[in-house]
C-alpha cells in the first residue's frame, strides 16, 4: 500500500492521525495541494478523482475519501477501535463524525477557500459566501462548547474518529479565517489541548 499525502492540509492529516492512533505505518507519496500537484495528469492516472489523501492498494485499487480510508484501516486493524465497538457506539460515532464533517469542517473550509489569498488560484472566490460560512463556523463552535460540557470527547466517553475530524479542523482553519479558540470557548480549548497532547497529534 501507499498513501498519497499532503503535509499541510487538514484532511490528509486526519488520516495520518488515525494511522498513528492505530500504530500503522504506510509509505507516503507527497502530493502538494498548494502547488496544484493533485491536478496533474500524472496524479489523475492513479487517482481519477484527484483527491488527496488517497490510499493505493497493492492491486492498484484506490480509495480516495479520508473517512473511507480510515474505515478500511479500521477493518484491517480493529483495535483500538475508533469507529465504536457496540452497535450503539458505532451509531453515536457515525452521528458525531457526520456532524463534525458537515457542520464544523465544511463551513470552516468554505470560509477559508473563499477568502484566503493562497486559495485564489484554486477557487472562484465569493467573498459574501466566505462571510456567511464564517458565521456558520462560529455558530457551530459555540454549539461545540455546549456539546463538550456534556461529555469529554466529541462522541461521548471515548476518543474516536469524530475527535480527529474536529481536531484537525480546528488545528488548521480558525487562525486562517480570523476565529480564535480562546477563553470564550473554554470547554473547546480544554478538549483541544488534551487532544493536542496525544502522540498522534504530531502525525
pLDDT tens digits for 159-171?
Answer: 999 999 999 999 9
Check residue 174 and give its pLDDT. Answer: 96
> Does residue 202 have a pLDDT over 90?
yes
Can you list the domains of the chain with their CATH numbers?
A: 2-76 (3.40.30.10), 87-202 (1.20.1050.10)
User: How much is the mean pLDDT over the chain?
Assistant: 96
What pLDDT shows up at residue 66?
Answer: 97
Query: Going by DSSP bridges, is the β-strand pair 28-30/62-63 parallel, antiparallel, or unpaired?
Result: unpaired
pLDDT band at 149 (very low <50, low <70, confident <90, very high): very high
**Tens of pLDDT, residues 36-90:** 899 999 999 999 999 999 999 999 999 999 999 999 999 999 999 999 999 999 9
Q: What is the greatest pairwise CA distance in the chain?
A: 50
Say if residue 119's pLDDT is above 90.
no
What pLDDT is attached to residue 203?
Answer: 85
Amino acid at each position: 500500500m501507499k498513501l498519497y499525502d499532503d503535509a499541510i492540509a487538514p484532511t490528509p492529516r486526519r488520516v495520518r492521525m488515525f494511522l498513528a492512533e492505530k500504530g500503522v505505518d504506510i509509505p507516503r507519496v507527497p502530493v502538494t495541494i498548494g502547488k496544484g500537484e493533485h491536478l496533474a495528469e500524472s496524479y489523475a492516472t492513479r487517482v481519477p478523482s484527484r483527491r488527496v489523501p488517497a490510499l493505493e492498494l497493492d492491486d492498484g485499487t484506490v480509495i480516495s475519501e479520508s473517512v473511507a480510508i480510515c474505515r478500511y484501516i479500521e477493518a484491517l486493524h480493529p483495535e483500538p477501535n475508533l469507529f465504536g465497538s457496540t452497535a450503539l457506539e458505532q451509531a453515536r460515532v457515525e452521528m458525531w463524525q457526520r456532524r463534525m464533517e458537515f457542520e464544523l469542517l465544511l463551513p470552516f473550509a468554505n470560509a477559508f477557500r473563499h477568502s484566503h489569498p493562497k486559495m485564489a488560484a484554486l477557487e472562484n472566490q465569493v467573498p459574501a459566501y466566505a462571510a456567511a460560512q464564517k458565521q456558520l463556523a462560529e455558530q457551530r463552535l459555540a454549539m461545540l462548547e455546549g456539546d463538550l460540557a456534556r461529555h469529554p470527547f466529541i462522541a461521548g466517553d471515548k476518543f474516536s474518529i469524530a475527535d480527529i475530524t474536529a481536531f484537525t479542523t480546528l488545528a488548521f482553519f480558525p487562525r486562517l479565517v480570523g476565529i480564535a479558540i480562546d477563553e470564550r470557548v473554554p470547554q473547546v480549548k480544554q478538549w483541544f489541548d488534551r487532544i493536542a497532547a496525544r502522540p498522534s497529534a504530531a502525525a
